A = this chain, B = another copy of it.
């Protein structure tokens, strides 16, 4: 058994190297690669993913995993969880024929390129055949994985163990029932502050300095976390040693980058604080996309858009920013960055209307995967729902159905994570407030105890625990979306004096 565990760990080390290389290739293609390099990158992806397929499904690995799993009591808990994790990956991968697995990687790469062009040129038709391919692959793969369940439920389960349309339908219908009236009340009330200071020219060099300051407040170790610049911010990590956040700077929208940095910084804090004992292990990453989003959105909205935080950080912003910011009060700044207004772009949406952007995507991808909505009809359906729920007219597909990259990467079932994560965060806050003087700490800019609390209950476990186990650990109760609804109702009643 000792020898088996040694061989197993060696196999994991090799898989980790390929994942690392794949991750860097992908990061590079988003941040540095000239677009003309994409064909060659596709060829390289094909070769490496073939090798990864082989490693994930190799008979030697299978034998090792089976041996470990049939003698669970003889190995430590980490090894046991690694074997379980690998067994699942193996089962999932094996069910896809290798040619399809490789073809899918290539299709993904092509779709991503087509989407980039389609978005710039507002040409959904260019992207449509690629999207259709990815939808078909996803439906097919879902069938391979578990033909007894609805394909979309199978996909949801890959992002969040145990998640289903049943859970999400209830969740979103609660949000519709409780929050749509708030959205409407806010619209009726109209602006409560002149927020034009948010659109004054703020030089990119100074915004970069503000990013550095925010990273410092977030307690992020720059020796293990860089900031890249891209069109669509994201975070990636190759291990807790090397985490990359990204942002985008616009001279006349400094708050956009500011909140990107805090959001991505939240993802980074999760990865940077995973336990050292699993740092190069397949368990050494966030437990699920929802748990991840619970962190990014916790720092971005619950902390980052709170009045104590804004009171603390405003002097730094005023020192770097344009003259127009000099006379702004912390309270006005708080009102401005919490301005709620139904709008077109998810990533720029306020906290209150945000979940409806997600809900629309959820409803649409549910139908795409079920086959009840054809790809060619997607833009019209999108525009209809934006009108129905948010009351906005979508002027073109660039600002509509083409705005997000997720579908171009074949991610169907991912979007709900954003809304779920926000809700998890609100529930965590409740328990944290019991243990820590959260708002006193935030007012002093001292986030260390908060990060430590989350590390203790969530971060350090990586994938050792499942999402629902982590929620239980952190919240001492199962998930309950009412905390989120209450949080938003209270906050926006306060901001808008409802």
A47 and B241 contact, CB distance less than 8 A:
no
Task: Write out, one digit per residue, whether chain A residues 1-43 have a CB within 8 A of any chain B CB (1) or not (0).
Answer: 0000000000001101110110011011001111111011101
B17 and A241 contact, CB distance less than 8 A:
no
Selecting from A220-228, A358-366, A392-400, the interface stretch reads: A220-228
Copies in the complex: 2
Residues of B within 8 A of A34 (CB): 222-226, 242-244
Mostly, the A contact residues are helix
B242 and A47 contact, CB distance less than 8 A:
no
Cβ 8 A contact of A24, one of B24, B46, B204: B24
**Distance, CA A186 to CA B128, complexed state (A):** 67
* Residue ID in chain B nearest A243 by CB atoms: B34
**Distance, CA A31 to CA B33, complexed state (A):** 12
Task: Write out, one digit per residue, whether chain A residues 324-345 have a CB within 8 A of any chain B CB (1) or not (0).
Answer: 0000000000000000000000
B32 and A226 contact, CB distance less than 8 A:
yes
Query: Number of A residues whose C-beta is below 8 Å from B?
Result: 42
Task: Write out, one digit per residue, whether chain A residues 354-396 have a CB within 8 A of any chain B CB (1) or not (0).
Answer: 0000000000000000000000000000000000000000000
Q: How many Å from the CB of A85 to the closest CB on chain B?
A: 19
B21 and A25 contact, CB distance less than 8 A:
yes
Near B by CB (< 8 A), chain A positions 224-249 give 224-226, 228, 238-239, 241-244
* Residue ID in chain B nearest A34 by CB atoms: B226
A14 and B47 contact, CB distance less than 8 A:
yes
Residues of B within 8 A of A239 (CB): 37, 40
Q: How many Å from the CB of A1 to the closest CB on chain B?
A: 24
**Distance, CA A239 to CA B226, complexed state (A):** 27
18 contacts across the A-B interface (CB closer than 8 A) = A16-B43, A17-B44, A17-B47, A20-B41, A24-B24, A24-B28, A28-B28, A28-B32, A31-B32, A32-B32, A32-B228, A33-B226, A34-B244, A35-B223, A37-B238, A37-B239, A41-B242, A43-B280
List A residues at the B interface (Cβ < 8 Å): 13-14, 16-18, 20-21, 24-25, 27-28, 31-37, 39-41, 43-44, 46-48, 204-205, 221-226, 228, 238-239, 241-244, 280
